[in-house]
Amino acid sequence: MMGGRAARLKQAILGGHEALPWPPPAHSVASEGDRGLTTDSRAIGRNFDSADDVFNWLNNAIFGTAAINLANRAGITARLLEGPATLAELAKAGALPAPQLGRILDFLLAHELIERDAGGAYVATKRTALMAEAAGYFANTEVSTAAATKLLPGLRQGVTPFELQFGAPVFAHFHAHPDMAEAFGNFMSFMTRRIERFIFAEHRFQPFETVADIGGSMGALLLGILREYPGTRGVLFDLPEVVALARPQVEASGLGERVEIVGGSFFESVPSADLYTLKQILHDWHDDECRQILGNIRSVMNPGARLAVIDHVLSDEPRPDESISTDVAMMVWDTGRERKLADFEALFAATGFAIDRFTPNPAGHSVIEVVKA
């Protein structure tokens, strides 16, 4: 169990089609092929058919990440998104030596992340734009990689690899290093945008008047829901110091009149609402802590209210999808974990909930919508 201050800090930083009924009929579950996705091709083992495959996979991953981070941080990506640029112009924009930058650009060209026009100038593409959108994620991989080097000693010593690498638990370390916290926050914003695309395309919420995003951080998901569902109102709930930072963004969104901003801790109490969203929250906590969060929500839900838990769901048989790699990431970063659907069912049953709808997402976070049992 975490101490109060660490738990509050942790809460602060983390924070289309009709969904499937639960239990879903076998014929109604959208397959990965239907969604244009296959997890088989993601299996790392596919790169172990030859020594060349192993080398190229890992070499590209390590040094490709470094090249993309350099382009993003030096402003090269942003400059290209403004329009075509020569090597000299990019070197000036990034305050970088032209010969070495030219080699970085050659790498990005070779891997089809940028292009050249007929005059030899470098040109941005849709993939370049994604480099910029995912900048927080790429930056965060450096922290993840450093922490992951301590996985073996961390498990043997009973200390999280992150704490072993950086000298403090993750959120305490972020509190002392705002630059790292900001990079992680940018990564989480990127993840929120990915989740929104899935939710709005695949999981339509039943009619509601008020939605409360519990642990909603800067309000990205809540604002997205309000845009998607006109005429509704929202409650942004997070720690007081977090919602204070979120207020200017909420007001600038043009939706401020539809949002109530409430500060507090979900370990103590939460506001009343018709729909609750709990995005990437439960995977950060032990089962007993999850039961406390769920119990606090249940105790104040309006009649007929629903709770949408948005999290990874592990498959019953191990598959090379996003959830299983994130489960290892949780082991590296902190004491949380990803769960199978049966694990979620047990949490819900213990707190008086039952699954009503389940929308699986083989590409990332699924949606489990629950009601009072």
pLDDT score for 38:
52
**What fold does the segment set 50-133 form as a domain?**
Arc Repressor Mutant, subunit A (1.10.10)
pLDDT tens track for 121-146: 999 999 999 999 999 899 999 999 99
Q: What is the CA radius of gyration of the chain?
A: 22
Q: 33-42, 119-128, 235-244 — which one is most confidently predicted on average? A: 119-128
Rounded average pLDDT over 24-44: 50
Question: Residues 173, 175, 203, 283: which is the catalytic one?
Answer: 283
pLDDT score for 241:
75
Is 11 exposed, middle or buried (CB count within 10 Å of its CB: 0-12, 13-18, 19+)? Answer: buried
pLDDT tens track for 333-360: 988 899 999 999 999 999 999 999 999 9
CA distances from 161 to 87, 151, 169, 190 (A): 41, 5, 9, 24
Q: Where in the chain is the domain with CATH 3.40.50.150?
A: 4-41+207-372
pLDDT higher than 60, residue 291: yes
- The answer to whether 15 and 282 are in contact (CB under 8 A) is no
pLDDT score for 1:
42
Rounded average pLDDT over 150-161: 97
Closest to 282 measured CA to CA, from 203, 345, 209, 359: 345
Pick the CATH number of 4-41+207-372 from 3.40.50.10470, 3.40.50.150, 3.30.360.10, 2.40.340.10: 3.40.50.150
pLDDT tens track for 195-206: 888 899 899 999
Instruction: Give catalytic status of residue 283 as yes or no.
Output: yes
Q: Where in the chain is the domain with CATH 1.10.10.10?
A: 50-133
CA–CA gap between residue 261 and residue 211 (Å, rounded) = 12
pLDDT score for 328:
96
pTM: 0.81
